[in-house]
Amino acid sequence: MSKFKMTQIKGVIPAMMTFFDKEENVDIQCTRRMVDFMLDHGADGFYLTGSTGECFTMTAEERNLVVDTVIDQVKGRVPVIVHVGDIGTKKSIELAKHAYEAGADAISSVPPFYWKFRADDIYSYYKDISEATPLPMVVYNIQLAGLMDMGLLLKLADLPNVHGLKYTARSHDEMGYLKEKLGSDFMIYSGCDEMAFSGMCAGADGIIGSFYNLFPDLYKKILAKVEASDIKGGMRLQKIADEVIFAALKYDFPSVLHGMMNWRGLESGYSRKPFYNYEDSELTGLKEEILRIKEKYQAEELDMFHF
């Protein structure tokens, strides 16, 4: 059973990668190690089997295995949100039911994609999934799946079991409006790693992102700057994060994250094909660029640069 209320799910939440071995099987031991690494570095929760987790390359059984493994390793220390999105409602409901039985604290989903679904179809998709379990639903608004407009988001928020929104867009004016409109009990998460500081200033309750796998501790510092109303300090840290992210995104994502984790001795496994996996020698230029960023900002205090 879930341990956390929806309003307790806040802070820095890594959109957790899925860690495969060389044969492209889910690497259970690596997954457990990475859970502990992120918790030790300040993660306030986990968002599982989303796009960063390569969910659409995985079977339902594999996705459920990741969920079971992470929840077992977390042992109730922090909340767990499980992304159950798929093109088909039936599979999403099955994934949602498993998440509930496994002890997740919330579920989430992108809207159905690939075909051009009507707004009514998308509404029905979320209604059916959110009614399938008692878990709160976090609607996931992201460009890759087709951004939903304000009218549809507000309509979805009226569904009894929809209690949150993962907002992965740069229009933080809209995100702030939604937070004001929907109230303190409706949780909104900023999904742009590059704009975490802005998102929190706009009223987000927490941040969910890919690069928090690598350095959740940096983003904890950013959130602390927001709480302290330290605009200058927060912007400095966000600029450091952004320059590292922009350098990394010159390479294939999410596989570049594995390479960057390996620099820190984490042995984080592989992405699944067709994602390309880098040899360490192929990332020499990235490592040099990141060290230049460290020097530029004189950022010795940040653990992310210790490799």
pLDDT tens sequence across 59-81:
999 999 999 999 999 999 999 99
Residue 284 counted as an annotated binding residue: no
Among 47, 140, 189, 212, the one annotated catalytic: 140
pLDDT tens track for 252-298: 999 999 999 999 888 899 999 999 999 999 999 999 999 999 999 99
Residues 6 or more apart in contact with residue 305 via CB below 8 angstroms: 290, 291, 294, 299
φ, ψ for residue 177, nearest 5 deg: -65, -45
CATH number for the domain running over 4-227: 3.20.20.70
Asked if 3 is an active-site residue, the reply is no
Stretches in the chain below the pLDDT threshold 70: 1, 142-147, 307
| Domain limits, the chain | 4-227
Mean of all residue pLDDT scores within the chain: 94
Q: What is the pLDDT of residue 145?
A: 46
Q: What is the pLDDT of residue 115?
A: 85
Which residues share a beta bridge with 20? 26, 270
CB 188 within 8 A of CB 7: no
Say how far apart CA 124 and CA 89 lie, in whole Å. Answer: 9
Q: What is the pLDDT of residue 141?
A: 87
Which residues share a beta bridge with 48? 82
The number of helices, as runs of H, and strands, as runs of E, in the chain is 11, 8
Asked if 140 is an active-site residue, the reply is yes
Among 10, 127, 155, 166, the one annotated catalytic: 166
Residue 52 counted as an annotated binding residue: yes
Helix axes 231-248, 255-263, angle to 10 degrees: 110
Q: Closest by alpha carbon to 224, among 187, 192, 196?
A: 196
Helices (H), 115-160: 119-130, 150-157
